[in-house]
A and B are shown apart, each in its own frame.
Chain A
């Protein structure tokens, strides 16, 4: 933190961040209540789906991958910027990440937890989910490892495990720091969770090395996960899906939506927990620059897709992309293009990059646009399948689709809000690391 005033000492950092664990006021509980209410909507919808079947959702031939899979890809995408900020920027030694990476990393874990629910809801009979796992069974059958859906299961499973242990590893020294200030039941919780951390040179020696390797492993992982998710589509022959550009296109889109979600989450958290001094406007500016970069890649990918559809000369490919922008779902395609490719161009202006209200609004529109991107790719490509158009029925999502989607937002925000209230939402040790260390030559207290 280059703009750190001498007032920001190690002790100040510990106490400011430990204060977020205190009573956060009414605004926090209103938000938490809203999240739990949304989750309740999702749970009731899920129970109805279990009772009456997936027919309650809007599935119609040939759209059998619809809002649930859209939400799955959306939430996996949200997860990605967390690992980008925590692992990739760690390897690049970017100092500014220290103030925001914990929130981004927690967002990753909870977004993957949310995403993981959707394939289960989508299969309809959740109690058979273990059929995905390669376990010895009486029929001697094994999963088909040539299927991208099995790759996806391994990729998401690995991603969830690794991002969770990465979050917990980063938390250990910080939990130890708040443990030494806490009292009561929190003291017991943090004593258990900090696994006896004392900050000895031996602990730091193994910890810093291990953290470096975890970051080095998480970096290729994050790039692989959304590539594998994109191959769920790209390996199929549906026009609009079968494209080699999908892996980088999806990874850029994922980081784009994730950075937008970090901004959406950090703006209220910064105000609710009074972290203005640690999370400065400069951090938001850097996040919005990341948005601008990845948003431009996404915009470029859109142009490429349409160009290749035309340039391929394949009538089915051309028909699919014509259907996207001028077919019955034109509004979804144009929402996606305007929100993702044009709106972020505002971020070229420094005035907008440093205006938190503007950033908050733009980030919400980017989230909407990115949700519609997945909707367009998945649903509209299927609905417009040009092979047997007379057999295609009209697809419309129903209340069951929206109910589950609302529930997923409730689930995500509930975990996130509980996390920021009960664990250090900003990394204590890493914020201290970018401060100048206390030296007696500067302080002049000792001879």
Chain B
């Protein structure tokens, strides 16, 4: 008989981000935008805060109904842009003084031509950090929500709302979604 060792789970950060544990709840499928908005208002009035709305396109009505804060992606863009500008300045000036060669009788560290490099680096770093901002924020939001129910029609022409609830409270959420005009409600 082997000695019985206690089971210590290894941390699996990637698995946790991309395959978070399932969240119990109710999924409603909606054909109409105004029905979806009505359901959002009713859910918020009933005290739900962490439900997820699926839509094939971004709609300002949904954003307004959810009362979402402005995405933090803008900080990524700003910090990336400033970092890029600084990197461009450092690259050109440090390299010029590291091996000083006079070109065309101009100063070793000439600012006007280096502005071009600083500008391009601002755009490059700003754009790449914007992408990282979108990916990180979306991935961490998905991690927080857990593995939730979804339907492939949500990328085509249907709207959807997933309400995370304990199984014993699912009936109330189900009734609420149906009352708002969901054409299909599923538990999971």
Contact = CB atoms under 8 A, between A and B. Distances in A.
Given A146-B113, A180-B152, 19 more contacts: A140-B99, A141-B99, A169-B131, A173-B155, A180-B153, A200-B53, A206-B137, A210-B71, A210-B133, A213-B73, A214-B130, A217-B77, A217-B130, A220-B119, A438-B157, A439-B32, A440-B31, A440-B35, A446-B32
A165 B31 CA distance: 33
A314 interface: no
A146 B181 CA distance: 65
Interface stretch (B41-49, B61-69, B168-176): B61-69
Contacts of B166: none
Contacts of B81: 217
Nearest to A145: B92
Interface of A: 9-11, 14, 134, 140-147, 150-151, 154-155, 157-158, 161-162, 165-166, 169, 173, 176-177, 179-181, 195-210, 213-214, 217-218, 220-221, 224, 228, 429-430, 432-433, 437-441, 443, 445-446
A158 B56 CA distance: 31
Nearest to A437: B33
A200 B96 contact: no
Given A142-B96, A177-B155, A196-B142, A440 B181 contact: yes
B95 A145 contact: yes
A221 B84 CA distance: 14
Interface of B: 18, 31-35, 52-59, 62-63, 66, 68, 70-74, 77, 81, 91-92, 95-96, 98-99, 101, 103-104, 106, 110, 113-114, 116-117, 119-121, 123-124, 126-128, 130-131, 133-135, 137-138, 141-142, 145, 150, 152-157, 181
Contacts of A151: 113, 116-117, 120
A10 B30 CA distance: 14
A203 B98 contact: no
Given A146-B106, A155-B120, A213 B55 contact: no
Contacts of A180: 152-153, 155-156
8 contacts: A11-B157, A180-B153, A200-B142, A214-B130, A218-B123, A221-B120, A433-B58, A440-B31
Contacts of A157: 120, 124
B123 A439 contact: no
B141 A202 contact: yes
B154 A198 contact: yes
Contacts of B71: 205-206, 208-210
Top 7 closest A-B pairs, CB basis?
A: A10-B157, A202-B141, A180-B152, A142-B95, A209-B71, A210-B134, A437-B33
B130 A210 contact: yes
Secondary structure of the A side of the interface? helix
Pick the most buried of B32, B72, B106: most chain A CB atoms within 10 A of its CB. B32
B3 to A, nearest CB: 42
B120 A224 contact: yes
Contacts of B34: 439-441
B124 A162 contact: yes
A151 B131 CA distance: 24
A209 B73 contact: yes
A213 B70 CA distance: 13
B162 to A, nearest CB: 8
Given A206-B134, A213-B74, A437-B59, A200 B120 contact: no
B134 A207 contact: yes
B127 A165 contact: yes
Contact of A205 (B68, B98, B131): B68
A10 B56 contact: yes
Contacts of A438: 31-33, 157
A445 B181 CA distance: 11
B127 A162 contact: yes
B134 A169 contact: yes
B119 to A, nearest CB: 6
Contacts of B133: 206, 210
B110 A146 contact: yes
B117 A217 contact: no
B37 to A, nearest CB: 10
B124 A446 contact: no
Contact of B52 (A134, A200, A209): A200
Contacts of A446: 32, 35, 181
B92 to A, nearest CB: 4
Contact of A165 (B114, B128, B156): B128
A6 to B, nearest CB: 14
A93 to B, nearest CB: 12
Pick the most buried of A176, A205, A224: most chain B CB atoms within 10 A of its CB. A205
A201 B56 contact: no
Nearest to A18: B156
B138 A209 contact: no
A443 B35 CA distance: 12
Given A177-B156, A438-B157, A198 B54 contact: yes
Given A145-B92, A145-B117, A196-B18, A161 B56 contact: no
A213 B126 contact: yes
B127 A228 contact: no
B14 to A, nearest CB: 13
B120 A201 contact: no
A372 B83 CA distance: 41
Contact of B124 (A161, A179, A437, A445): A161
Pick the most buried of A9, A202, A221: most chain B CB atoms within 10 A of its CB. A202
